[in-house]
C-alpha cells in the first residue's frame, strides 16, 4: 500500500535524477510600458509583486529542489536576470546563451549544460518562464505524472490543457489512445482558423498545447539525432568549444522552434492532461483574461478607481488614476510613460516600440 501511494503521487520519482529548465526569453513588447529592454517579459509582475519567472520557479519547489532548477537566457539579458535570481537560485544555475536562437537551440544548449553537471540520465521538465498557472499543487501533480510517463515509456511528454474557448493563437493537440495516465498525441495543429478551432473544441478531442515538455536527456538527444542531426551534433560539441569560439559557432545555428523541429515530427510523443488553469499571458488582453473573474467588471491595481466603467484593466502607480464611463480599455502608468489603449487593440502595442525606436526615444524602450 505504501509503495502504491508513493507511485500515485509521483513526487519521489520526480525528485530522483530530475531537473527543470526554464526558458526565459522575449522582451514582451506587447506589455510596454512595464516590460522593456532592461525589464524583459519574464520579469513582469502580474500582481505588481511577484514576477512571472519567480512564480514559475516557486511552482516547482516541492517537486524539484532549487539546486536542480535552471534558467536559460540570452547574453544580452544576462544582467537583469542575474539580479532577479539573486537569493532565489544558485548563481551557477543561470545558463547564458551567447545569442538568442529560438527554443530548439535553447533547449539543446540548456540540456547539454545540465547533463554536464547532473548526467545524461537526468529527466528534464522544460517550460516557459512567462505563463500564468493556478493552482500550483495541480501544476506539480501534472509535472510529476509527466515525469513518470517519460521514464516508463522513454517518451517525450507534453502537457495538454482543457480549452475554455476556440482560441486561434494557440497550438492544439489531438487526443489519441490512452497510454497509462496519459494519451498518445495523434497530431498537432498550430494556430487554427476560427472555424477549425470551434470544431476542434466542440469535438472534445483536442487540448491546448501548453509548450511544456518532459523527457530524459538521452531521449532528447535521440529525437534531435532523428529530426535535427545538425543540432544534435552541436549539442555534443557545446562542452568542447572554447569561450572565444562559442559565440560565432552559436550564431551559425539556424533552427525553428522546438515544437516544429522535434515535437510535431516525432512519433514518440505522449500527452498528459493539465490539472491546472493555464494562460499564455502574451498581451494586456491575455492578462485581463487571466485575472478577471466572471463577476468582475474591471481589473484594477495600484492607486486606481473606475466609476461607471466595464472591461477595464488599469495599473496605476503612486499617482491616482480615475476612469469614468469607459470600457474596453487598458490604462498603465509606469512612472515615466503612460499607455492608454483599447483592450481589443492590445496585440498591436508592439508597434509602440517600433515608433519609439524610429523617433530615437530609446530611453523609453
Q: Closest Cα partner for 264 from 327, 343, 174?
A: 174
The torsion angle over the Cα atoms of residues 313, 318, 324 and 328, rounded to 10 degrees, is -20
3 band by pLDDT with thresholds 50, 70 and 90: very low
pLDDT at position 257 over 80: yes
pLDDT at 163: 94
135-155 confidence digits (pLDDT tens): 999 999 999 999 999 999 999
> Is the peptide bond preceding residue 17 cis, with omega within 30 degrees of 0?
no
What digits encode the pLDDT tens for the residues 270-323? 999 999 999 888 788 888 888 875 556 899 999 999 999 999 999 998 899 999
pLDDT in tens, 105-123: 999 999 999 999 988 789 9
Taken in order of first residue, the domains within the chain and their CATH numbers are: 2-279 (3.90.550.10), 284-364 (no CATH)
Residues 6+ apart with CB under 8 A from 155: 149, 215, 219, 268, 269, 270
d(CA 44, CA 39): 7
pLDDT band at 254 (very low <50, low <70, confident <90, very high): very high
pLDDT band of 6, cuts 50, 70, 90: very low
pLDDT at 2: 34
How many whole angstroms separate alpha carbon 243 and alpha carbon 271?
38
Amino acid at each position: 500500500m505504501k509503495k502504491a501511494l508513493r507511485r500515485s503521487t509521483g513526487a519521489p520519482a520526480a525528485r530522483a535524477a530530475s531537473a527543470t529548465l526554464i526558458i526565459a526569453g522575449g522582451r514582451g513588447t506587447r506589455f510596454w510600458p512595464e516590460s522593456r529592454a532592461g525589464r524583459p517579459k519574464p520579469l513582469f509582475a502580474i500582481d505588481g509583486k511577484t514576477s512571472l519567472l519567480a512564480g514559475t520557479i516557486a511552482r516547482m519547489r516541492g517537486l524539484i529542489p532549487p539546486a536542480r532548477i535552471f534558467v536559460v537566457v540570452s547574453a544580452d539579458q544576462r544582467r537583469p536576470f542575474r539580479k532577479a535570481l539573486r537569493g532565489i537560485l544558485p548563481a551557477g544555475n543561470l545558463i547564458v546563451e551567447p545569442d538568442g536562437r529560438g527554443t530548439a537551440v535553447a533547449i539543446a544548449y540548456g540540456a547539454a549544460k545540465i547533463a554536464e553537471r547532473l548526467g545524461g540520465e537526468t529527466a528534464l521538465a522544460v517550460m516557459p518562464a512567462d505563463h500564468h498557472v493556478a493552482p500550483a499543487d495541480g501544476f506539480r501533480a501534472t509535472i510529476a505524472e509527466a515525469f513518470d510517463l517519460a521514464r516508463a515509456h522513454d517518451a517525450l511528454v507534453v502537457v495538454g490543457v482543457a480549452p475554455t474557448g476556440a482560441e486561434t493563437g494557440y497550438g492544439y493537440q489531438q487526443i489519441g489512445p490512452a497510454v497509462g495516465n496519459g494519451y498518445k498525441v495523434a497530431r498537432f495543429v498550430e494556430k487554427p482558423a476560427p472555424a477549425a478551432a470551434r470544431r476542434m473544441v466542440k469535438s472534445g478531442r483536442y487540448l491546448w498545447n501548453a509548450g511544456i515538455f518532459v523527457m530524459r536527456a538521452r531521449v532528447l538527444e535521440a529525437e534531435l539525432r532523428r529530426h535535427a542531426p545538425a543540432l544534435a551534433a552541436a549539442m555534443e560539441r557545446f562542452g568542447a568549444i572554447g569561450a572565444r569560439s562559442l559565440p560565432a559557432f552559436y550564431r551559425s545555428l539556424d533552427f525553428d522552434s522546438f515544437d516544429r523541429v522535434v515535437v510535431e515530427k516525432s512519433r514518440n510523443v505522449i500527452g498528459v492532461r493539465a490539472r491546472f488553469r493555464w494562460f499564455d499571458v502574451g498581451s494586456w488582453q491575455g492578462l485581463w483574461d487571466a485575472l478577471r473573474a466572471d463577476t468582475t467588471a474591471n481589473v484594477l491595481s495600484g492607486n486606481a478607481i473606475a466609476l461607471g466603467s466595464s472591461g477595464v484593466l488599469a495599473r496605476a502607480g503612486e499617482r491616482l488614476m480615475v476612469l469614468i464611463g469607459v470600457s474596453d480599455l487598458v490604462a498603465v502608468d509606469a512612472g515615466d510613460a503612460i499607455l492608454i489603449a483599447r483592450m481589443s487593440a492590445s496585440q498591436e502595442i508592439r508597434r509602440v516600440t517600433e515608433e519609439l525606436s524610429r523617433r530615437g526615444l530609446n530611453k523609453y524602450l
